[in-house]
């Protein structure tokens, strides 16, 4: 028999096996399907998360320093929160010192987050809102996009005007059924604020801002409403490097200026923390690595179970077709042809299970992208890995049954019951 014809016949026989023994085949393929699903799903999710993080990093900028009391990560040992809590807060004084004395700065801003605020408009009320009291340039450093109206003007920010920009969910809660909130007033922290803009819906970003559930208003407006020296609040500086400037060099310069401004003695530790988004991505890489290993271990066990399932179904197939194998060998079929025939059947079965797993990943990725609003990155390389692993498992699982079939004595095989 010609090799091409042999391959076609073997594939058709494998598909016939699928049709005739549906339950047996389904149970045998389940392990392969779960294993390939785990492998492709883990690789796809990790690729997607990395791509989404890279996109957000490019939006927020990997060249921005976030400076406040609290380090985002431990500093090489125990996280000494009791020491960080007592540190002095950032103020406009530090902002001006950085602007004056650091040459490689493109822009600096100051933000005071005040969490869990209640915001009211007439009879409507929104709770758990984050109020961000900001200085100039905050919108540029966080790439805030306005859906309606405008952002705070320089004069409103500098003069502490009672103007505010609200997030999309705040707008939906306070103005149900209304088409325009611009020019209307909200009450917050015991003061009325004029709404000048509504932000586009964005979700929470890597820097921890949830602008959808927020109100942005001038820093100096907050200064007249709350005690900025209270340890309950933690204003932070955001410092963006000038174009082409090294972020590590900028960090060194900024630390020097802030230590001098705060009169920190030589040899004494900083009384502030300098954070970067790269710290978050480095920690996430460790987490991704752990997820990858765990996912591959689960997938490995599933593939081993699936391999035994395929080997079992191939042994049964050999036993059911023993007489046919004997007849083929009696009329001249070579041992290699019989071996190849059963190997192709095993690979076909494994590829079928693998494709079911891949299709499941595709369907879930569409669900995540369009329903859960989590953009999924589908990779041809990952699909090729899945198909290749399926084929390898098919060869490994099918070799012993195929070898047993190819070595059958034709006379004994024909006389078998």
CA atoms within 13 A on the CB side of 84: 17
Closest CA to 252 of 274, 276, 279, 237: 274
Residue 312 φ then ψ, to 5°:
-65, -45
The distance of Cα 218 from the centroid of its chain, to the nearest Å, equals 33
- Using an 8 Å Cβ cutoff, are 314 and 346 in contact? yes
282 forms beta bridges with: none
CB atoms within 10 A of CB 395: 14
Longest dimension (CA), the chain: 102
Distance CA 238, CA 250 (A): 12
| C-alpha pair distances (Å), 182 with each of 162, 175, 385 | 14, 11, 53
Look at the alpha carbons of 45, 46, 50, 51 in this order and tell me if their dihedral is positive or negative. negative
| Positions of the chain with pLDDT under 70 | 1-4, 6-7, 10-11, 13-15, 17-21, 52-62, 74-79, 81, 204-208, 278-282, 284, 333, 372-374, 412-413, 415-417
pLDDT value of position 216: 94
- Evaluate whether 102 touches 253 at the Cβ level (below 8 Å): yes
Catalogue the E-assigned strands of 8-76.
Answer: 64-68
The CA distance from 374 to 371, in Å, is 8
Instruction: Identify the CA nearest to 339 among candidates 10, 18, 8.
Output: 10
pLDDT of residue 413: 64
Helix (H) / strand (E) element for 275: namely strand 273-275
Rg (CA), the chain: 32
d(CA 390, CA 175): 55
Q: Catalogue the E-assigned strands of 70-142.
A: 105-121, 124-134
114 has which bridge partners?
131
User: Over the range 367-376, which residues count as b (16 or more CB within 10 Å of their CB) and which as e?
Assistant: ebeeeeeeeb
Phi, psi angles (nearest 5°) of residue 121: -145, 110
HSE-CB for 88 with a 13 A CA cutoff:
13
- pLDDT given for residue 171 in this prediction: 92
- Given a contact cutoff of 8 angstroms between Cβ atoms, the answer to whether 105 and 240 are in contact is yes
Q: How much is the pTM?
A: 0.64
Residue 151 phi, psi (nearest 5)? -90, 170
Residue 193 CA from chain centroid, whole number: 37
């Amino acid at each position: 028999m010609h090799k091409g014809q042999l391959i076609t016949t073997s594939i058709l026989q494998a598909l016939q096996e699928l049709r005739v023994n549906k339950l047996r085949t389904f149970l045998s393929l389940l392990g392969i399907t779960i294993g390939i699903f785990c492998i492709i799903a883990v690789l796809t999710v990790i690729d997607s998360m990395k791509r989404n993080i890279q996109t957000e990093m490019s939006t927020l900028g990997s060249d921005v320093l976030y400076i406040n009391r609290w380090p985002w990560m431990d500093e090489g040992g125990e996280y000494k929160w009791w020491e960080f809590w007592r540190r002095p807060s950032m103020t406009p004084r530090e902002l001006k010192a950085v602007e004056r004395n650091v040459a490689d700065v493109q822009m600096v801003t100051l933000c005071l987050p005040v969490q869990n605020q209640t915001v009211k408009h007439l009879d409507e009320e929104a709770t758990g809102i984050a109020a961000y009291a900001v200085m100039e340039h905050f919108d540029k450093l966080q790439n805030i996009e306005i859906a309606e109206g405008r952002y705070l003007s320089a004069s409103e920010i500098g003069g502490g005007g009672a103007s505010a920009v609200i997030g999309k969910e705040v707008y939906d809660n306070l103005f149900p059924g209304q088409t325009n909130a611009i020019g209307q007033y909200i009450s917050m922290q015991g003061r009325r604020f004029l709404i000048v803009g509504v932000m586009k819906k964005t979700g929470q970003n890597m820097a921890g801002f949830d602008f959808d559930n927020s109100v942005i208003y001038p820093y100096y407006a907050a200064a007249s409403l709350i005690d900025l020296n209270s340890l309950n609040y933690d204003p932070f500086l955001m410092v963006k490097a000038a174009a082409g400037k090294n972020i590590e060099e900028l960090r060194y310069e900024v630390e020097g200026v802030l230590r001098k401004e705060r009169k920190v003695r030589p040899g004494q530790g900083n009384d502030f923390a300098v954070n970067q988004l790269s710290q978050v991505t480095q920690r996430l890489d460790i987490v991704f690595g752990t997820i990858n290993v765990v996912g591959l271990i689960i997938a490995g066990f599933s593939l081993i179970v699936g391999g035994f399932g395929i080997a079992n179904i191939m042994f049964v197939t050999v036993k059911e077709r023993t007489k046919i194998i004997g007849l083929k060998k009696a009329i001249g079929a070579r041992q290699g042809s019989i071996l190849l025939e059963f190997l192709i059947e095993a690979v076909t079965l494994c590829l079928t299970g693998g494709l079911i797993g891949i299709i499941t990943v595709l369907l879930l990725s569409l669900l995540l992208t369009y329903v859960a609003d989590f953009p999924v990155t589908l990779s041809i390389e990952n699909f090729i890995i899945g198909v290749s692993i399926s084929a390898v498992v098919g060869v490994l699982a099918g070799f012993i049954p195929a070898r047993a079939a190819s070595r059958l004595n034709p006379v004994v095989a024909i006389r078998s019951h």
